Amino acid sequence: MNVAWIVAVVAGAGSLAAAPAQATSPIRTPPRPSPASFQVPGRPFAQPSPAAPQATALACAVSTPSGRPLVFSPRVGLTPRRVTARGHLELTGCTSPDGSATFLRSGWASVRADAQASCASARQVRGRAVITWFGVTGRPLGTSTLRIRADRLVAQQPADTLLTGDVSAGRLLGKHVRGGITPPAAILGCATQGMAALPGHGRITFG
């Protein structure tokens, strides 16, 4: 037997035994794809939309009846003092933007409220109004009791506080109410003579 061949075989076996074993790589779990990875090319990824504001259940024109303005006792003057307001309001042309009160077409409100008021401001308003509702045929369709409440100072149009509050009973229960009354012309002489009556018109909303 060839000695050189034996030496070559032995040397090869030794080199194989000395070779270290190959380390096994750990199995790695691929990361979960993010929602953005599913985005369709050319189309923005949809984001959750914010909550929509509460819709208006009813909106009406409001005015004092002809020849029957709101009355104040004592007269509203230049300096703030406690005043009581009484009167009636007509609600006409009512519409229901959210479709929940389409059967209410008009109303008649009796209002009484107390406030710390002057010619230019009102606050600490507390009162009550009862609205009788009518349908398209003029038939009565129930009532709403409005709890009038306005704590913050209201300037420029103090009579607007008479249309601020919440429905505490009857139709539209729980709805927030707000509105405004604008006199047909500037009220002159309030600071010097006082104001005992206020005619006007505006808008009122429920919801």
Q: What is the pLDDT of residue 98?
A: 96
Q: What is the pLDDT of residue 158?
A: 73
Give whichever of 31-45, 109-123, 172-186 has the largest mean pLDDT.
109-123
* Higher per-residue pLDDT: 31 or 99: 99
Domain count, the chain: 1
User: Residue 6 domain-assigned?
Assistant: no
Percent of the chain scored above 70 by pLDDT?
70
User: Residue 140 domain-assigned?
Assistant: yes
User: Residue 79 domain-assigned?
Assistant: yes
User: Residue 171 domain-assigned?
Assistant: yes
User: Residue 1 domain-assigned?
Assistant: no
Q: What is the pLDDT of residue 113?
A: 96
Give the DSSP H/E element, type plus range, for residue 197: strand 195-198
* Higher per-residue pLDDT: 167 or 194: 167
pTM, two decimal places: 0.72
For the segment 36-43, the average pLDDT, to the nearest whole number, is: 47
**Pair of tokens at residue 46:** 């949809």
pLDDT tens figures, 147-169: 999 887 776 677 788 899 999 99
For the segment 190-203, the average pLDDT, to the nearest whole number, is: 89
Classify residue 124 as left (phi > 0), alpha (psi -120 to 50) or beta: left
Q: Residue 197: give the domain boundaries.
A: 64-206
Other Cβ atoms within 10 Å of 181 Cβ, number: 23
User: Residue 43 domain-assigned?
Assistant: no
**Pair of tokens at residue 62:** 């409001």
* Higher per-residue pLDDT: 107 or 32: 107
